Amino acid sequence: MGRWVWGAIRRSLRPSGLVLVYDPGYAVRVGTSPIDPLRAEMVLAFLVDQGLVRRRDMARPLAASLRNIRRVHTDRYLESLERREVLEQIVGTPLTDAEAEGLVQSQRLAAGGTVLASAIAARTGQVAVNLGGGFHHAASNRGMGFCALNDIGIAIARLRARGFSAPILVVDLDIHDGNGTRLLFEEDPSVHTFTIHNQDWSPSEAASATVMPLGTAVSDATYLTALRTALPEVMGRIRPGFVIYVAGADPATDDMLGDWNITAAGMLARDQFVVEQVRRKGAEIPLTIVLGGGYGGNAWRYTARFLGWLALGRVVEPPTNAEMLLRRAEELHRLLREGARRLPPASDWAFTPEDVAAFMPGAAAPRRLLGRYTSQGIELLLERLGVLGQVRALGFSLPTLELDFHLPDSDCVRLYGDAAKTELLMEVRFRRDQSRLPGMEVLYLEWLLLQNPRREFSRGQQSIPGQKHPGLGLLRDVTAWLVVLCGELGLDGLMYVPAGYFVATFGSRFIDPVRQAQLEAMRRALAGLRLVEASRAVEERRVVDAATGATVPWEPAPMVIPVSPRLRERVEGPEYEAALEAALSSLSYRLRLPSETNADA
């Protein structure tokens, strides 16, 4: 984990305090669903207002890395999340493209929150609350019921990857069945999923699970009796070393989706019972709490009451919605005013204009890279191709992508080695192009930079013009990525205009066979030289025509790496080969001898 994140954790810890994890990016509107995008904000505003937490005591997560997400979800499923209709099925309501993309991003961020909260709880033995998450219906190869990414499973898988081996208990008291989590750990007896809900969503043959469907119209007495009977027995049997509590607020009587009659007192008694079981004196088990479901404008009040009690040890009644909205607006306004003057660059908690814009309805639909990819789509591809793994192996532990749509004609992707985006590793500018090859469409590569910013050129080491740092050693992998993009987009191939000899040597062909013949004649003349030396010889115009002694200059012309059969035919077919052979037979180059003068000079 990066320095920045651990710094945030350290700063957020207070003796016996409650650790809260949150990011404004959790807030999301989902079509016409009764999800209150301000739920967590209201809880937070209440806790801040009561003096129970200070904004600077909070930890702000990074979006869960695909490395962690892929520990529980399949690539095929993650790819399918690029499609709006898949997300519409998951939430059961029509979505705009912007909403679909926002949904995945917000759940990924919230999953990062559950990962971070679990890391804090495991490390400190404290109670850490993620003011989001609880997407318990998502299984490895499908999402459902508003849940695209199972943050609980992702956090558990990451704890396991970090060597945490004690039994883990998930106490899921959302009114809906935590079936996705149960399926994820169906064959893992070391993770027990305990869920009390209205009805089962999936059958269970899990190795270690408690599944208690209570039906409809459940009252406080039935609910609390079930919990007080079953949970202590499971705790005693499992002896968990870590607990994740999904404190869904949707069993509450006024919930807009739930069909139970649990009172505010019943909800609080439930939450208190779970915490008292887990945090019993002398056996304080690390506890992570995630919000889970809770629908309509009152859902936040149950969570606020619970967390207020957790932080303070006594119950404080949250104010009315109207009053709280006003306080929240004042707080936001104050932060924005301060923010305009001074916001520390890596603040744990800072509203930016983008954060605020995210709350505004009608934000413009996000653009997609090459008309197809979200940032996550591109990142998934780089992760699958092993590029990000190699970047991590080079010591850049938090590779971070940035898509830039500010250029008029092309899209730009930057890859940084760090979350703060100070270490630029790769910059690619490209576009889809139909103008350069009649009847075909290519991925036109305008610019490609690959560098290792932590290394400097050593004395005498030759650098390529314009490059400040030595390369990353990933050209081949990045080229492979570009070729894969062509394939996925149905493009004919990758095209670029090499600025110099060395760029023309990584396995592609000039469209013009005569130009290709010149390159091959050059290659013969430069045989025996190292690539850097050969490249320098061309740059210094030391390659001459063997017959006339005239300098052979480097002339930029378009090259392609063909992907489609028709472009392959175009630059590798018999017609091209014949033209190439013919041109080559009349060409012979050699290196100018030191004694010869430069004919151009």
Least gap, CB of 149 to Zn ion (angstroms)? 16
Is the Cβ of residue 180 or residue 248 nearer to Zn ion in the bound state? Answer: 248
CA–CA separation, 328 and 410 (whole Å): 41
Is the Cβ of residue 135 or residue 496 nearer to Zn ion in the bound state? Answer: 135
Contacts of 371 (CB under 8 A, 6+ apart): 432
Is the Cβ of residue 178 or residue 562 nearer to Zn ion in the bound state? Answer: 178
Which member of 176, 429, 469, 542 binds Zn ion (CB under 5 A)? 176
Is the Cβ of residue 298 or residue 375 nearer to Zn ion in the bound state? Answer: 298
The structure tokens 């009390």 sit at 196
Is 82 a binding residue for Zn ion by CB under 5 A? The answer is no
Residue nearest to Zn ion (CB): 293
- The SS3 assignment for 130 reads strand
Which residue stretch of 171-179, 354-362, 395-403, 433-441 sits at the interface with Zn ion (rule: CB under 5 A)?
Answer: 171-179
Least gap, CB of 3 to Zn ion (angstroms)? 37
Lay out the site mask for Zn ion across 212-251 (x = CB under 5 A, - = otherwise).
Answer: ------------------------------------x-x-
Least gap, CB of 135 to Zn ion (angstroms)? 10
- The SS3 assignment for 429 reads strand
Q: Are 459 and 474 in contact (CB under 8 A)?
A: no
**How many CB atoms sit inside 10 A of residue 93's CB?**
14
Contacts of 458 (CB under 8 A, 6+ apart): none
Angstrom distances, CA of residue 367 to CA of 97, 361, 374, 495, 569: 10, 17, 8, 23, 34
Question: Which residue intervals of 59-144 are DSSP H helices?
Answer: 66-69, 75-80, 84-91, 97-124
Residue 373 pairs in a beta bridge with 369
Is the Cβ of residue 251 or residue 513 nearer to Zn ion in the bound state? Answer: 251
> Which of the residues 279 through 318 are near Zn ion (CB under 5 A)?
293
User: By rule CB under 5 A, what count of residues binds Zn ion?
Assistant: 5
Q: Are 134 and 246 in contact (CB under 8 A)?
A: yes
Is the Cβ of residue 35 or residue 381 nearer to Zn ion in the bound state? Answer: 35
Is 255 a binding residue for Zn ion by CB under 5 A? The answer is no
Which residue stretch of 60-68, 90-98, 176-184, 390-398 sits at the interface with Zn ion (rule: CB under 5 A)?
Answer: 176-184
Q: Are 134 and 290 in contact (CB under 8 A)?
A: yes
Least gap, CB of 178 to Zn ion (angstroms)? 9
Is the Cβ of residue 108 or residue 176 nearer to Zn ion in the bound state? Answer: 176
Is the Cβ of residue 176 or residue 429 nearer to Zn ion in the bound state? Answer: 176
Least gap, CB of 256 to Zn ion (angstroms)? 11
**How many CB atoms sit inside 10 A of residue 365's CB?**
11
The structure tokens 């204009």 sit at 353
Residue 199 pairs in a beta bridge with none
Listed residue (59, 292, 122, 129) closest to 197, CA to CA: 292
Is 174 a binding residue for Zn ion by CB under 5 A? The answer is yes
Binding site for Zn ion (CB under 5 A): 174, 176, 248, 250, 293
